[in-house]
Structure 1
């Protein structure tokens, strides 16, 4: 199945090269070898985070683009004295881009909901006799409402309860709490930028291997998972904390339920718990 494939494009090699380059630059500085000071400036950290994130997400990450853009902007302005004349407009422009991104994501959710509803409506039903029409109509109506309600719950909003098989949450300067009730969890992505996400997976289930992408910058993500899941944390953390607070119960771990957590935690925190 598609979800059982592990994505090897996790940016680990890129991160290794970045660490290697930093080490070489520090060594050259100790040897009094000249090189531009901007190579070890803090905007380069943002650029590095952006590059790693984009590589991990196959250059389709809003978080990676944002980090790369901010890094390039501050690098050019502070180190090369580029005057873009937009310094006082940076904050509102950033809010505009974030708003456009959230609207686009909402439209994608609505389109997905519409596609699901079309598939439900397009299902053909066998003809029924007039004596059975009333009963069949009531049953079909109830079934359609139940199916539609489940699909809508899975797609609507980001807080509360969801029946969706995949999770996609972007918490930007906000806090989001969500509980997943699906029995066919297929992973997804979480992005917390200057915000927080609490995701409860204790009522969810799956079989095989699923991937969950997490990106954190000046924020926090808390995951609550069932104690029998095999959770493997493979995130890149930069000036951040990654805490696995699950109780150690090796005898109860199910080898057929492997959750692989990948991503980048930058000046933030990732906490994993179980009860």
Structure 2
């Protein structure tokens, strides 16, 4: 399937779920205007967050943890709307949520490091074809020169990471795993590469700034996977 068709399909899917959310909100408002006694928490922002988390889960077939975190955050604050809570308890909710995200990231990073160490233990592989980068409270700028890039993982926490692949090459498909928390990642790829985005965002965003070339089959595919929480990922091409 061409890049253009994939973008159209992704856009249609996103539009469908957005329409479902708007329809539900409109239905609740209609029922309330019709005189039904609906509780105020139905129209609260935590309820919207729960709906968004459920939609994210449905789109990903409830795989991964991003949808769960969004739903969990919404449920925590929704309980506060339904059952009055003392402020001394509610003030600990946000740091507790941050700690849950942190535990998830630690577990994810540990699992990725184990896989990376297994790959590196294979003497037949070239270490330069794999990328391992961790940036915390700092900045990282790397130019990848591998002519057979095979993937890797990057972690950015309270910092920035810039990866330049314009002098690199891919033979087939390579997977780059991204974890971003309160940080930014900029990835520059050759315009001839096809890039598949599979990054879950929580209060973050992904911006595709590539100069899209004419639609044509290509065997050079970079897959971006992972999560972006309170941060941003920019994708560019030259």
Q: TM-score, normalised by structure 1?
A: 0.59
Equivalent residues, number: 216
Does 2:225 match 1:200? no
Give the root-mean-square deviation of aligned CA atoms: 4.2
1:20 aligns with 23
Higher mean C-alpha deviation, range 78-87 or range 104-113 = 78-87
- State how far apart, in whole Å, the 1-side matches of 2:228 and 2:133 are: 27
Instruction: Report SS of the residue matched to 1:211.
Output: strand
Residue number in structure 1 paired with 2:3: none
Shift of 1:49: 1.8
Residue 129 of structure 2, aligned match among 150, 157, 169? 150
Q: Residues 41 and 192 from structure 1, CA distance in 2 versus in 1: closer, same or farther, beyond 3 angstroms?
A: farther
Contact 2:56–2:67 (Cα < 8 Å) also in 1: yes
Q: Deviations over 1:104-134 (max 9, x none)?
A: 222222212222133x23x6xxxxxxxxxxx
Partner of 2:41: 38
TM-score (structure 2 length as normaliser): 0.67
Equivalent of residue 100 in structure 1, options 98, 103, 126:
103
Structure 1 regions of 5+ residues with no counterpart?
1-5, 124-143, 229-252
2:210 to 225, 230, 234: 225
Structure 1 residues 51 and 182: CA distance shift in structure 2, 3 A: farther
Give the distance between the partners of 1:102 and 1:261, measured in 2 at CA.
Answer: 17
Rounded Cα–Cα distance in structure 2 between residues aligned with 1:85 and 1:92: 13
Distance in 1 (alpha carbons) for counterparts of 2:216 and 2:88: 56
Kindly indicate whether the alpha-carbon contact (under 8 Å) linking 2:188 and 2:237 is maintained by their aligned counterparts in 1. Answer: no
In the other structure, the counterpart of 2:116 is 113
Deviates more, 1:71-80 or 1:26-35: 26-35
Contact between 2:133 and 2:153, CA under 8 Å: does it hold in 1?
no
| Alpha-carbon shift at residue 75 of structure 1 (Å) | 0.6
Would the aligned equivalents of 1:169 and 1:190 in 2 still touch at CA under 8 Å?
Answer: yes
- Residues 1:66 and 2:45 aligned together: no
Whole-Å Cα distance in 2 between the matches of residues 262 and 45 of structure 1?
A: 26
Contact 1:224 1:273 in 2 (8 A): yes
Aligned equivalent of 1:54: 57
Higher gyration radius (CA): 1
Tell whether the 8 Å contact from 2:53 to 2:67 is kept in structure 1 after alignment: yes
Give 3-state SS (helix, strand or coil) of 2:187's partner: strand
Q: Using the TM superposition, give the Cα deviation of residue 177 of structure 1 relative to its aligned residue in structure 2, in angstroms.
A: 2.7
Q: 1:227 Cα shift?
A: 3.2
Summarize deviations over 1:138-190 as a string: whole Å, max 9, x none: xxxxxx6xx12333xx2333654466545766656544333344514446665
Contact kept? 1:191, 1:216, Cα under 8 Å = no
